[in-house]
Chains A and B, each alone.
Chain A
Amino acid sequence: MLFSGATCSVDKQLENNRHTRWGLVLAVLAVLLLYAYLFTHIADSFAIPRPAELAKQIGIDIKYVFDRDSNVGTDLHVIYTPPNKRDDQRLILFAIVAGAFLCAYFLPLAYKRPSLVLWFLVAILIIYGIRASAGLLFAHLLIYLSFHPPPLKRSIWQGLLPGALACLAFMEKQASWLWLLLLLLIFSAISLLLVRYLLLPLLQHERAAKIIRTLFVQSALIVVFISAIVEGLQGQTWTLPLGILLFFWHWERLIMYHVDFKDGLVPNDTSLPTYLSIFFSPGGLPNGNWGPSIGLGYNYTQSRFLSVDKNKLIVSGLKLWGIALLYLVFADWFRFLIVGVFNDTGIPVFSGHLKTMSCAYVGSSDISSISVLMTTLLDLMRWLMMWGAIVHFKVGVWRMCGYDIDPFFNKPWLATNLVSFWPRFTFHYREFLVRAFYYPVFFRFFKKHTKTRVVFATVVAVGFGNMIWGHLTEGMFYDGMRFQNFGNVLETWPYFLFLTAGIALTELYLLQKKSRRKPWTRDRYFAMDVLCSYLTLQFFALIHIFAWPCQTATQGDNWLLFLKAFGI
């Protein structure tokens, strides 16, 4: 449970760390080796056939699984790495996960989490280099200082370090060692002065401290807004240093850290290693931009470390990795199998791609209702499998590292309404929206009018929070700090409108409905569950016409295509 206040006690953690099961350790390493074999070029190093060649040798002919370099094509990768180097980066990722797992499993309790921070930093250093690592550390150090300011007397190294890291993060690539050393000294000295004589004194005033923390935590949104306006006015696009961009991807978790802090759940004397262990975990390495809310803030991460037996965690993690592997390898094969069935029956489904259908529609193709319905549904299926694969792998890594993290993705096709769909589809992100937006509104406004209260909180969380704090910033991180990208996200407003209305109405219905029946019970209402599940998925699939349209489609085109689904 997400607000379970009590951090797992050291005694409980020790108890959950007692038994070593070598079979499980070997199983984890074997699965990682299998991942490496399927998704990297490791086969060449051992002079064994690549996956596609092996499949051919043993007579397996399966389409849409292997890519041009004869291994399995996958969306599992490390962000901000060039596509032609992704196999190498994946290999580093799997090696780091293996190392982190072994440390989390075998090291004494006190060293486990610091070792995970080290493995994360090693990975960042190898993959992105010293500048990006320094940028990421610099940004987090500022956050740490704003939440946990040291006493003035003990502030020397915490004053020097941000400057040194900033120097490394922003220095010219070709700077000589002597010049670098000089800059390091100057930056560190300035930083020490700023921290000791400006930041720390300001943080002693409650109101100033609140403003500074909010500014730091919301820096991603602030930068996104300012950069979009600057680009719009001057045509000058900001390019963010990689380390800062990596830091911005932590911002949902930072907001949750802030919420925990305001709720009194973060001890004031939290040490820097403890702070870093919240954010620098190997679970955040694969697809850092997918499900960045996994792990949430301080309280969730702290209370979940070794809160259950480590071997149980590994078994559950292996299950998730197994499911992820199935999705990663067979998703496209399965999708095209269904596409083929539709093609055979004469229903065009545009390879199950909504965007392709949208472009065809703009190009004046006539499209039937059933085509719109099935294409959107197939597109949803495509990315549910892709999404499920990646977030299962990520949660699996967290579990291998000793954290009992809830699954991000939990059979969303079993949801019989939109309210139960969201936590099944994107659990941690939904929790982020609820705690950061829904709760503050729900407990403040319209307390005497339940329906208005629920609807208003939903509008703020699902519409406003989701659009501005979720999609808008992410859109800018993906596509660049341009005003046009800002506008592109805002143009998807009908998606947020329908989603908000759908969830709010479902909530109101569920509040009225008093039924003891559990969905999918095998009784006379079972068919109703099937229908409700289909309608939920179809609704969610259909509103993506507004979220992922063809680039040349106008808002009018999107609405007309949407209405086509209803035969209008």
Chain B
Amino acid sequence: MSTAADKDTIIRDLMGFMKTEFPDTGIELTPSTDLLSDWLIDSLGIISTTLFLEEHFGVNVTRADIKAENYQTIENLSNFICKRLSGK
């Protein structure tokens, strides 16, 4: 994924990953779905999501980044990726 990837592409890729990795949660996935309450079920869900972020978008994730502010929703995740890709 190039650093020029726009936010819509990031959101689309994240949605695709979430639906594949955590199938049939019984909840409709939108960019504002609360992933922490309804989707990622436990801490290993965070690990597989992190691996996806690192491998697919090429961003470096540290332990300090594992917080609700970044992982709460697809929207938050995409903001986090955009920030990292733009070098902030």
Contacts and interface: CB of A to CB of B under 8 A. Distances in A.
Interface stretch (A2-10, A490-498, A541-549): A2-10
B62 interface: yes
B1 interface: no
Q: How large is the interface on B (under 10, 10 to 19, 20 to 34, 35 or more residues)?
A: 20 to 34
B51 A5 contact: no
A431 B19 contact: no
A420 to B, nearest CB: 9
Interface stretch (B5-13, B39-47, B79-87): B39-47
Contacts of A438: 43, 47
Interface in A378-418: none
Given A431-B43, A450-B55, A1 B37 contact: yes
Interface string A424-444: 000100110011001110111
B67 A263 contact: yes
A434 B23 contact: no
Contact of A518 (B24, B44, B63, B68): B24
B19 to A, nearest CB: 7
Interface in B14-48: 19-20, 23-24, 35-37, 40-44, 46-48
A207 interface: no
Contacts of B43: 2-3, 431, 434-435, 438-439
B61 A427 contact: no
A439 B61 CA distance: 12
A431 B35 CA distance: 17
A5 B46 CA distance: 14
B63 A6 contact: no
A30 interface: no
Contacts of A444: 63
Interface residues of A, number: 31
A2 B71 CA distance: 12
A419 B41 CA distance: 13
Contact of A419 (B35, B40, B44, B61): B44
Contact of B36 (A4, A434, A447): A4
Interface in A496-523: 510-511, 514-518, 521
Contacts of B24: 518, 521
Given A2-B43, A4-B37, A511 B48 contact: yes
Given A439-B43, A442-B47, A518-B23, A5 B55 contact: no
Contact of A439 (B19, B23, B48, B63): B63
Nearest to A444: B63
A292 B41 CA distance: 21
A3 B47 contact: no
Most buried by B among A427, A430, A439, A443: A443
A435 B41 CA distance: 14
A423 interface: yes
Contacts of A442: 47
11 contacts: A2-B42, A4-B36, A4-B68, A263-B64, A263-B67, A434-B42, A443-B63, A515-B23, A517-B23, A518-B24, A521-B24
Interface of A: 1-6, 263, 419, 423, 427, 430-431, 434-435, 438-440, 442-444, 447, 450, 454, 510-511, 514-518, 521
A-B pairs, top 6 by smallest CB distance, nearest first, are: A5-B68, A1-B36, A443-B63, A518-B24, A434-B43, A4-B36
